Structure 1
Protein backbone atom coordinates (compact mmCIF):
# COMPACT_ATOMS: atom_id res chain seq x y z
CA UNK A 1 0.00 0.00 0.00
CA UNK A 2 1.28 3.45 -0.87
CA UNK A 3 1.10 5.82 2.08
CA UNK A 4 1.55 9.57 2.11
CA UNK A 5 4.65 9.14 4.28
CA UNK A 6 6.27 7.07 1.50
CA UNK A 7 6.68 10.27 -0.50
CA UNK A 8 8.89 13.16 0.40
CA UNK A 9 6.37 15.93 -0.11
CA UNK A 10 7.55 18.50 -2.62
CA UNK A 11 9.68 16.09 -4.64
CA UNK A 12 8.96 14.76 -8.13
CA UNK A 13 6.81 11.62 -8.05
CA UNK A 14 5.88 11.48 -11.74
CA UNK A 15 7.31 12.44 -15.12
CA UNK A 16 4.85 12.89 -17.98
CA UNK A 17 5.52 12.91 -21.73
CA UNK A 18 3.24 14.12 -24.53
CA UNK A 19 2.56 11.42 -27.11
CA UNK A 20 0.31 11.12 -30.15
CA UNK A 21 -1.14 7.71 -29.14
CA UNK A 22 -0.92 6.46 -25.54
CA UNK A 23 -1.27 2.77 -26.34
CA UNK A 24 1.43 2.74 -29.02
CA UNK A 25 3.73 4.94 -26.94
CA UNK A 26 3.22 2.77 -23.84
CA UNK A 27 4.14 -0.41 -25.71
CA UNK A 28 7.27 1.26 -27.11
CA UNK A 29 8.25 2.80 -23.75
CA UNK A 30 7.86 -0.56 -21.99
CA UNK A 31 9.92 -2.35 -24.65
CA UNK A 32 12.66 0.27 -24.57
CA UNK A 33 12.96 0.78 -20.81
CA UNK A 34 11.32 -2.17 -19.06
CA UNK A 35 8.93 0.23 -17.33
CA UNK A 36 5.35 -0.84 -16.92
CA UNK A 37 2.90 -2.27 -17.34
CA UNK A 38 0.99 0.82 -18.44
CA UNK A 39 -2.61 1.32 -17.31
CA UNK A 40 -4.67 3.41 -19.75
CA UNK A 41 -7.70 5.59 -19.08
CA UNK A 42 -9.50 8.60 -20.51
CA UNK A 43 -9.50 11.73 -18.33
CA UNK A 44 -12.07 14.43 -19.05
CA UNK A 45 -11.39 17.42 -16.82
CA UNK A 46 -14.13 20.02 -17.17
CA UNK A 47 -14.31 21.59 -13.68
CA UNK A 48 -11.32 23.83 -14.33
CA UNK A 49 -10.14 27.39 -14.68
CA UNK A 50 -7.27 28.90 -16.60
CA UNK A 51 -5.22 31.98 -15.86
CA UNK A 52 -7.31 34.84 -14.52
CA UNK A 53 -10.17 32.48 -13.65
CA UNK A 54 -11.35 31.90 -17.21
CA UNK A 55 -13.09 28.55 -17.95
CA UNK A 56 -10.72 25.72 -18.87
CA UNK A 57 -10.78 22.04 -19.78
CA UNK A 58 -8.39 19.17 -20.45
CA UNK A 59 -9.68 16.08 -22.28
CA UNK A 60 -6.85 13.56 -22.52
CA UNK A 61 -5.93 9.91 -22.30
CA UNK A 62 -3.19 8.77 -19.96
CA UNK A 63 -1.07 5.65 -19.72
CA UNK A 64 0.42 5.24 -16.22
CA UNK A 65 3.41 2.97 -15.66
CA UNK A 66 6.09 2.46 -13.06
CA UNK A 67 9.79 3.04 -13.83
CA UNK A 68 11.68 2.26 -10.66
CA UNK A 69 10.37 4.55 -7.93
CA UNK A 70 8.97 7.06 -10.44
CA UNK A 71 5.57 6.91 -12.07
CA UNK A 72 5.53 7.66 -15.80
CA UNK A 73 2.47 9.21 -17.42
CA UNK A 74 2.12 9.25 -21.18
CA UNK A 75 -0.40 11.94 -22.19
CA UNK A 76 -2.43 12.11 -25.40
CA UNK A 77 -4.36 15.39 -25.64
CA UNK A 78 -7.80 15.28 -27.27
CA UNK A 79 -8.79 18.88 -26.43
CA UNK A 80 -7.52 21.60 -24.11
CA UNK A 81 -8.44 25.18 -23.23
CA UNK A 82 -7.71 28.01 -22.70
CA UNK A 83 -5.15 28.79 -25.39
CA UNK A 84 -2.32 29.29 -22.89
CA UNK A 85 -2.78 25.74 -21.61
CA UNK A 86 -3.58 24.21 -25.01
CA UNK A 87 -0.32 25.61 -26.39
CA UNK A 88 1.55 23.74 -23.64
CA UNK A 89 0.10 20.40 -24.80
CA UNK A 90 1.34 20.34 -28.38
CA UNK A 91 5.02 19.31 -28.30
CA UNK A 92 4.83 15.54 -28.84
CA UNK A 93 7.84 13.61 -27.57
CA UNK A 94 8.79 16.11 -24.88
CA UNK A 95 8.33 16.22 -21.14
CA UNK A 96 4.93 17.79 -20.54
CA UNK A 97 5.16 17.99 -16.76
CA UNK A 98 6.62 16.61 -13.60
CA UNK A 99 4.23 16.07 -10.71
CA UNK A 100 4.75 16.81 -7.03
CA UNK A 101 2.69 15.84 -4.02
CA UNK A 102 2.58 18.84 -1.71
CA UNK A 103 1.52 19.44 1.86
CA UNK A 104 -0.70 22.39 1.04
CA UNK A 105 -2.13 22.92 -2.43
CA UNK A 106 -2.99 26.58 -1.76
CA UNK A 107 0.43 27.40 -0.28
CA UNK A 108 2.30 25.72 -3.14
CA UNK A 109 0.16 27.53 -5.72
CA UNK A 110 1.02 30.84 -4.07
CA UNK A 111 4.72 29.95 -3.92
CA UNK A 112 4.84 29.04 -7.61
CA UNK A 113 2.82 32.11 -8.59
CA UNK A 114 5.20 34.31 -6.59
CA UNK A 115 8.08 32.74 -8.58
CA UNK A 116 6.32 33.71 -11.80
CA UNK A 117 5.14 30.17 -12.55
CA UNK A 118 1.49 30.97 -13.12
CA UNK A 119 -1.17 28.29 -13.13
CA UNK A 120 -2.27 27.57 -16.70
CA UNK A 121 -4.97 25.17 -15.50
CA UNK A 122 -6.37 24.62 -12.00
CA UNK A 123 -8.98 21.90 -11.64
CA UNK A 124 -10.78 19.47 -9.41
CA UNK A 125 -11.24 15.81 -10.31
CA UNK A 126 -14.50 13.92 -9.91
CA UNK A 127 -12.99 12.55 -6.65
CA UNK A 128 -12.61 16.08 -5.31
CA UNK A 129 -8.83 16.33 -5.74
CA UNK A 130 -7.48 19.74 -6.62
CA UNK A 131 -4.55 19.89 -9.03
CA UNK A 132 -2.83 22.54 -11.10
CA UNK A 133 -0.34 22.82 -13.93
CA UNK A 134 2.11 25.67 -13.33
CA UNK A 135 4.14 27.07 -16.21
CA UNK A 136 7.84 26.55 -15.49
CA UNK A 137 8.77 26.20 -19.18
CA UNK A 138 10.98 29.31 -19.25
CA UNK A 139 13.19 27.86 -16.49
CA UNK A 140 12.67 24.09 -16.64
CA UNK A 141 11.29 23.42 -20.11
CA UNK A 142 8.03 21.91 -18.85
CA UNK A 143 5.03 22.40 -16.59
CA UNK A 144 4.92 21.40 -12.92
CA UNK A 145 1.76 19.70 -11.66
CA UNK A 146 0.86 19.81 -7.98
CA UNK A 147 -1.65 17.97 -5.83
CA UNK A 148 -2.00 16.90 -2.22
CA UNK A 149 -1.41 13.29 -1.13
CA UNK A 150 -5.10 12.47 -0.79
CA UNK A 151 -6.51 8.90 -0.62
CA UNK A 152 -7.62 8.65 -4.26
CA UNK A 153 -4.27 9.99 -5.57
CA UNK A 154 -2.42 7.52 -3.34
CA UNK A 155 -4.71 4.74 -4.59
CA UNK A 156 -3.74 5.53 -8.20
CA UNK A 157 -0.03 5.46 -7.31
CA UNK A 158 -0.55 2.21 -5.37
CA UNK A 159 -2.37 0.55 -8.28
CA UNK A 160 0.35 1.49 -10.78
CA UNK A 161 3.20 0.47 -8.44
CA UNK A 162 1.56 -2.85 -7.52
CA UNK A 163 1.05 -3.74 -11.20
CA UNK A 164 4.82 -3.42 -11.67
CA UNK A 165 5.73 -5.83 -8.85
CA UNK A 166 7.21 -8.95 -10.44
CA UNK A 167 5.93 -7.84 -13.85
CA UNK A 168 7.42 -10.10 -16.51
CA UNK A 169 6.83 -7.86 -19.53
CA UNK A 170 3.62 -9.63 -20.54
CA UNK A 171 0.74 -7.40 -21.64
CA UNK A 172 2.55 -4.04 -21.36
CA UNK A 173 -0.60 -2.01 -22.10
CA UNK A 174 -3.78 -2.58 -20.09
CA UNK A 175 -7.06 -0.77 -19.62
CA UNK A 176 -7.52 0.79 -16.21
Structure 2
Protein backbone atom coordinates (compact mmCIF):
# COMPACT_ATOMS: atom_id res chain seq x y z
CA UNK A 1 0.00 0.00 0.00
CA UNK A 2 1.09 3.54 -0.72
CA UNK A 3 1.75 5.77 2.28
CA UNK A 4 -0.77 8.61 2.62
CA UNK A 5 0.71 11.20 4.98
CA UNK A 6 -1.68 13.67 6.55
CA UNK A 7 -1.36 17.06 4.85
CA UNK A 8 -4.07 18.85 6.81
CA UNK A 9 -6.21 18.59 9.93
CA UNK A 10 -9.60 20.28 9.81
CA UNK A 11 -12.10 21.37 12.41
CA UNK A 12 -15.80 22.11 11.92
CA UNK A 13 -16.57 25.40 13.67
CA UNK A 14 -19.28 28.02 13.95
CA UNK A 15 -17.08 30.97 12.90
CA UNK A 16 -13.89 30.38 10.90
CA UNK A 17 -12.33 33.74 11.73
CA UNK A 18 -12.95 33.43 15.47
CA UNK A 19 -11.60 29.87 15.48
CA UNK A 20 -8.50 30.90 13.52
CA UNK A 21 -7.83 33.82 15.89
CA UNK A 22 -8.25 31.55 18.93
CA UNK A 23 -5.96 28.88 17.45
CA UNK A 24 -3.38 31.52 16.57
CA UNK A 25 -3.50 32.95 20.11
CA UNK A 26 -3.20 29.50 21.70
CA UNK A 27 -0.75 27.73 19.38
CA UNK A 28 0.94 30.46 17.30
CA UNK A 29 -0.43 28.97 14.09
CA UNK A 30 -1.10 30.97 10.96
CA UNK A 31 -1.45 33.45 9.47
CA UNK A 32 -4.83 32.31 8.15
CA UNK A 33 -6.27 32.79 4.71
CA UNK A 34 -10.07 32.90 4.79
CA UNK A 35 -12.22 32.01 1.80
CA UNK A 36 -15.90 32.82 2.21
CA UNK A 37 -18.68 31.01 0.39
CA UNK A 38 -16.36 28.73 -1.57
CA UNK A 39 -18.01 28.17 -4.96
CA UNK A 40 -18.79 24.60 -5.94
CA UNK A 41 -19.95 23.51 -9.38
CA UNK A 42 -21.35 20.32 -7.88
CA UNK A 43 -21.59 18.58 -4.52
CA UNK A 44 -22.90 15.02 -4.14
CA UNK A 45 -23.50 14.04 -0.53
CA UNK A 46 -24.29 10.37 0.15
CA UNK A 47 -25.30 9.92 -3.50
CA UNK A 48 -27.61 12.97 -3.60
CA UNK A 49 -26.69 16.24 -5.29
CA UNK A 50 -27.15 19.02 -2.73
CA UNK A 51 -26.09 22.63 -2.28
CA UNK A 52 -23.09 23.09 -0.02
CA UNK A 53 -22.05 26.61 0.92
CA UNK A 54 -19.02 26.66 3.18
CA UNK A 55 -16.24 28.98 4.28
CA UNK A 56 -12.75 27.98 5.38
CA UNK A 57 -9.71 29.46 7.09
CA UNK A 58 -6.36 27.87 6.16
CA UNK A 59 -3.13 28.30 8.12
CA UNK A 60 0.07 26.48 8.95
CA UNK A 61 0.41 24.66 12.29
CA UNK A 62 3.96 23.34 12.48
CA UNK A 63 4.46 20.89 9.62
CA UNK A 64 0.76 20.53 8.78
CA UNK A 65 -1.94 22.81 7.43
CA UNK A 66 -4.89 23.46 9.72
CA UNK A 67 -8.33 24.33 8.37
CA UNK A 68 -11.38 25.71 10.12
CA UNK A 69 -14.56 25.15 8.12
CA UNK A 70 -18.12 26.38 8.64
CA UNK A 71 -21.24 25.44 6.71
CA UNK A 72 -23.24 28.52 5.71
CA UNK A 73 -26.41 26.84 4.47
CA UNK A 74 -28.77 24.46 6.27
CA UNK A 75 -29.21 20.85 5.32
CA UNK A 76 -27.43 17.52 5.10
CA UNK A 77 -23.69 17.52 4.51
CA UNK A 78 -20.55 15.65 5.51
CA UNK A 79 -20.14 18.24 8.28
CA UNK A 80 -23.60 17.58 9.65
CA UNK A 81 -22.95 13.84 9.38
CA UNK A 82 -20.54 14.20 12.32
CA UNK A 83 -21.97 17.31 14.00
CA UNK A 84 -25.76 17.42 13.86
CA UNK A 85 -27.25 20.61 12.51
CA UNK A 86 -28.34 22.88 15.35
CA UNK A 87 -26.55 20.80 17.99
CA UNK A 88 -24.06 23.53 18.82
CA UNK A 89 -21.33 20.87 18.73
CA UNK A 90 -18.04 21.51 16.95
CA UNK A 91 -14.77 19.67 16.64
CA UNK A 92 -12.26 17.85 14.51
CA UNK A 93 -13.92 16.81 11.28
CA UNK A 94 -11.32 15.42 8.88
CA UNK A 95 -7.74 14.86 7.89
CA UNK A 96 -6.66 15.45 4.30
CA UNK A 97 -4.38 13.33 2.16
CA UNK A 98 -3.10 13.67 -1.39
CA UNK A 99 -3.90 10.82 -3.79
CA UNK A 100 -3.14 10.20 -7.45
CA UNK A 101 -6.76 9.43 -8.39
CA UNK A 102 -9.61 10.64 -6.17
CA UNK A 103 -12.22 8.27 -7.62
CA UNK A 104 -9.94 5.21 -7.42
CA UNK A 105 -9.13 6.02 -3.78
CA UNK A 106 -12.83 6.55 -2.99
CA UNK A 107 -13.48 3.06 -4.34
CA UNK A 108 -10.59 1.64 -2.29
CA UNK A 109 -11.82 3.33 0.89
CA UNK A 110 -15.39 2.14 0.19
CA UNK A 111 -14.15 -1.44 -0.22
CA UNK A 112 -12.63 -1.11 3.26
CA UNK A 113 -15.95 0.03 4.76
CA UNK A 114 -15.49 3.81 4.44
CA UNK A 115 -18.17 4.99 1.98
CA UNK A 116 -18.09 8.24 0.06
CA UNK A 117 -19.70 10.98 2.15
CA UNK A 118 -19.06 13.72 -0.42
CA UNK A 119 -17.63 14.16 -3.87
CA UNK A 120 -17.43 17.80 -4.89
CA UNK A 121 -16.10 19.79 -7.79
CA UNK A 122 -15.10 23.42 -7.60
CA UNK A 123 -15.92 25.81 -10.44
CA UNK A 124 -12.37 25.45 -11.79
CA UNK A 125 -12.77 21.66 -12.05
CA UNK A 126 -10.77 20.79 -8.91
CA UNK A 127 -12.25 17.67 -7.26
CA UNK A 128 -12.21 16.78 -3.57
CA UNK A 129 -14.00 14.08 -1.65
CA UNK A 130 -14.64 12.80 1.86
CA UNK A 131 -14.39 9.09 2.67
CA UNK A 132 -16.34 8.43 5.85
CA UNK A 133 -13.66 6.90 8.03
CA UNK A 134 -15.39 8.11 11.21
CA UNK A 135 -16.38 4.59 12.32
CA UNK A 136 -12.74 3.52 12.51
CA UNK A 137 -10.78 6.76 12.86
CA UNK A 138 -13.27 9.12 14.50
CA UNK A 139 -12.96 11.60 11.63
CA UNK A 140 -13.50 11.68 7.89
CA UNK A 141 -10.65 11.53 5.38
CA UNK A 142 -10.51 14.16 2.65
CA UNK A 143 -8.98 13.07 -0.64
CA UNK A 144 -7.60 15.29 -3.36
CA UNK A 145 -5.01 15.04 -6.09
CA UNK A 146 -1.94 17.27 -5.74
CA UNK A 147 -2.73 19.48 -8.74
CA UNK A 148 -0.34 22.41 -9.23
CA UNK A 149 -2.90 24.92 -7.90
CA UNK A 150 -3.23 22.89 -4.67
CA UNK A 151 0.49 22.30 -4.22
CA UNK A 152 1.12 26.01 -4.81
CA UNK A 153 -1.56 26.97 -2.28
CA UNK A 154 -0.08 24.69 0.38
CA UNK A 155 3.39 26.14 -0.34
CA UNK A 156 2.06 29.71 -0.10
CA UNK A 157 0.41 29.01 3.29
CA UNK A 158 3.59 27.36 4.62
CA UNK A 159 5.78 30.22 3.37
CA UNK A 160 3.43 32.82 4.89
CA UNK A 161 3.92 31.12 8.26
CA UNK A 162 7.70 31.35 7.88
CA UNK A 163 7.49 35.01 6.86
CA UNK A 164 4.85 36.03 9.44
CA UNK A 165 5.91 39.03 11.52
CA UNK A 166 2.96 39.58 13.85
CA UNK A 167 0.52 41.51 11.68
CA UNK A 168 -3.19 40.67 11.54
CA UNK A 169 -3.31 36.86 11.36
CA UNK A 170 -6.47 36.90 9.19
CA UNK A 171 -6.45 37.65 5.46
CA UNK A 172 -9.42 37.22 3.14
CA UNK A 173 -8.89 35.46 -0.17
CA UNK A 174 -11.14 34.40 -3.04
CA UNK A 175 -11.17 30.79 -4.27
CA UNK A 176 -12.68 29.97 -7.66
Regarding TM over 0.5, the answer is yes
Point out where structure 2 has 5 or more consecutive residues left out of the alignment.
none
Q: Which residue of 2 aligns with 1:174?
A: 171
Q: Which of 27, 30, 35 pairs up with 1:36?
A: 30
Q: Which of 39, 45, 50 pairs up with 1:50?
A: 45
1:125 and 2:122 are equivalent in the alignment:
yes
Q: Is the 8 A contact 1:34 1:169 kept in 2?
A: no
**Per-residue deviation, residues 90-145 of structure 1 (Å, max 9, x unmatched):** 47431111000012212211110101111111011122111111111111111110
1:60-139 correspondence runs (5 A): 60-79=54-73, 81-82=75-76, 86-90=80-84, 92-139=89-136
Which whole-Å CA distance do the structure 2 matches of 1:115 and 1:174 have between them? 39
Which is strand-richer, 1 or 2?
1
Number of residues of Structure 1 aligned to a counterpart in Structure 2: 168
1:140 and 2:137 are equivalent in the alignment:
yes
Q: Give 1:58 shift.
A: 2.0
Which whole-Å CA distance do the structure 2 matches of 1:169 and 1:19 have between them? 24
Q: Give 1:44 shift.
A: 3.2
TM-score when normalising by structure 2: 0.86
Q: Which residue of 2 aligns with 1:155?
A: 152
